[in-house]
């Protein structure tokens, strides 16, 4: 595609694939190597060795906290989990209205209300400290909003957050009403860390475009949630698990997969637009799943092995492996999360990455304003001014 303006003509691939649009210090995805990082740290190594709040601090402030900084940050963000009264009082109506679509749809409305209730101002008008404070408050509130909307949709009362639990454990507590087993809380925490950020994906880019207009943090996040809600972006973890259900038993793997591949259907949980080797998030989550063990994990590993062999046979020359959604669904199922909360849980992590990108973009006053190539009927020729 060629885009022609008054000063330049550029060949741009569809979907802006591979086009560099800005500089970032937040991280990168190196798809050919099967590696991605947050700041200067391997994201997978952070998931294996750090807590969610550590990574949150890293993304916002550029460094991992020491022990005193960690304690202060955890106390500060825990205090931000509670919702303003007017937002909490409006959640039952939001949950009823969004019941057919689920908590992620309700989050868009609730975030808008939260931003208005808190009087969030355009980032263009704020200094760096105030922008950061707004982003911290929004990130801390999102898990509370999501779990409350889910429980209200199930006819249950929301569970108030606890200040004494780390973010992941508190999320599970608010979702289920019971303090989670440490192993399950840690597994969810590792999943959350692994999905905080992942390059300039569609929702992150959307957040930065809105931030470049100078809009408030809530507006930027609502736009990002809208992008995430699309099934080509964030809606796959439950669909990957649905694939395992549809196959059902090991003897059905080969005929089921061959039929879908030959029909040109996409196998949910396999393939990634960036990685040309194994998705490092999938590899890590497979290890977490295997630490739990059980029939579901054994079946998932067998499906992965057989599907990759069939894809290698039917699509030679293409590297098609499991992506993050395949084992994310298995891990979340093992940890007791309902399937309608898989994508919202992804959102509860990614809001930190979105916010870090919003803060980085807000430091640059240049609005993002690309061009498009017109391909419609020719317009009339302008009449020269005399």
Evaluate whether 195 touches 57 at the Cβ level (below 8 Å): no
**CA pair distance 241, 76, nearest whole angstrom:** 36
**CA 171 to centroid of chain Cα atoms:** 16
The DSSP code for 341 is G
Q: Residues 295, 296, 302, CA angle at the centre, nearest 5°?
A: 90
Q: Is 189 a catalytic residue?
A: no
**Alpha helices in 42-119, H assignment, sequence order:** 43-49, 52-61, 67-79, 85-97, 103-117
For residue 223, what is the enclosing H or E element?
A: helix 217-228
| HSE-CB for 276 with a 13 A CA cutoff | 6
Catalytic residue among 198, 272, 321, 333: 272
Classify the C-alpha dihedral 261-267-273-274 as positive or negative: negative
325 is catalytic: yes
Which listed residue (53, 189, 304, 325) is catalytic?
A: 325
Give dist(CA 13, CA 99) in Å, integer. Answer: 39
Measure Cα distances from 314 to 84, 262, 263 in Å: 55, 8, 12
Tokens of 285: 């989550």
- What interhelical angle do 182-194 and 167-176 show, nearest 10? 110
323 backbone dihedrals φ, ψ, rounded to 5°: -105, -175
Strand pairing category for 9-11 and 27-30:
unpaired
Extract long-range pairs of 120-129: CB within 8 Å, 24+ residues apart. 120/216, 120/217, 120/218, 121/216, 122/214, 122/215, 122/216, 123/211, 123/214, 123/215, 123/216, 123/217, 123/220, 123/358, 123/362, 124/213, 124/214, 124/215, 124/362, 124/365, 125/214, 126/362, 128/359, 128/363
Task: Please name the residues in contact with 293: beta carbons below 8 A apart, sequence gap of 6 or more.
Answer: none
User: In the chain, how long is the greatest CA-to-CA distance?
Assistant: 82
Catalytic residues: 272, 325
């Amino acid at each position: 595609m060629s885009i022609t303006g008054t000063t330049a003509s550029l060949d741009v691939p569809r979907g802006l694939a591979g086009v560099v649009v800005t500089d970032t210090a937040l991280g990168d995805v190196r798809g050919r190597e099967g590696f991605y990082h947050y700041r200067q740290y391997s994201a997978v190594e952070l998931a294996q060795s750090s807590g969610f709040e550590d990574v949150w601090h890293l993304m916002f402030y550029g460094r991992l906290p020491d022990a005193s900084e960690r304690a202060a940050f955890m106390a500060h963000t825990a205090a931000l989990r509670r919702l303003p009264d007017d937002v909490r009082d409006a959640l039952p109506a939001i949950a009823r209205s969004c019941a057919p679509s689920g908590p992620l749809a309700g989050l868009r409305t609730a975030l808008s209300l939260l931003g208005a209730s808190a009087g969030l101002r355009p980032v263009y008008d704020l200094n760096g400290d105030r922008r950061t404070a707004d982003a911290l408050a929004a990130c801390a509130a999102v898990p509370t909003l999501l779990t409350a909307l889910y429980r209200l949709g199930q006819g249950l009362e929301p569970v108030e957050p606890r200040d004494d639990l780390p973010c992941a454990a508190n999320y599970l507590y608010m979702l289920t009403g019971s303090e989670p087993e440490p192993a399950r809380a840690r597994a969810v925490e590792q999943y959350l860390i692994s999905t905080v950020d992942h390059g300039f994906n569609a929702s992150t880019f959307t957040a930065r475009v809105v931030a470049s207009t100078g809009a408030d943090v809530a507006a930027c996040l609502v736009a990002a949630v809208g992008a995430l809600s699309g099934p080509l972006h964030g809606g796959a973890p439950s669909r990957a698990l649905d694939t395992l259900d549809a196959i059902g038993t090991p003897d059905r793997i080969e005929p089921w997969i061959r039929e879908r591949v030959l029909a040109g259907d996409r196998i949910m949980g396999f393939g990634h637009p960036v990685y040309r080797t194994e998705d490092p998030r999938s590899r890590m989550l497979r290890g977490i799943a295997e630490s739990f063990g059980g029939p579901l994990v054994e079946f998932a590993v067998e499906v992965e092995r057989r599907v990759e062999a069939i894809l290698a046979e039917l699509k030679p020359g293409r590297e098609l492996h499991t992506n993050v959604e395949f084992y994310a669904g298995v891990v979340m199922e093992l940890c007791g999360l309902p399937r309608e909360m898989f994508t919202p849980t992804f959102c509860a992590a990614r809001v930190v990455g979105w916010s870090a990108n919003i803060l980085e973009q807000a430091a640059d006053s240049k609005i993002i304003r690309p061009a498009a190539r017109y391909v419609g009927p020719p317009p009339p020729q302008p009449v020269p001014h005399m």
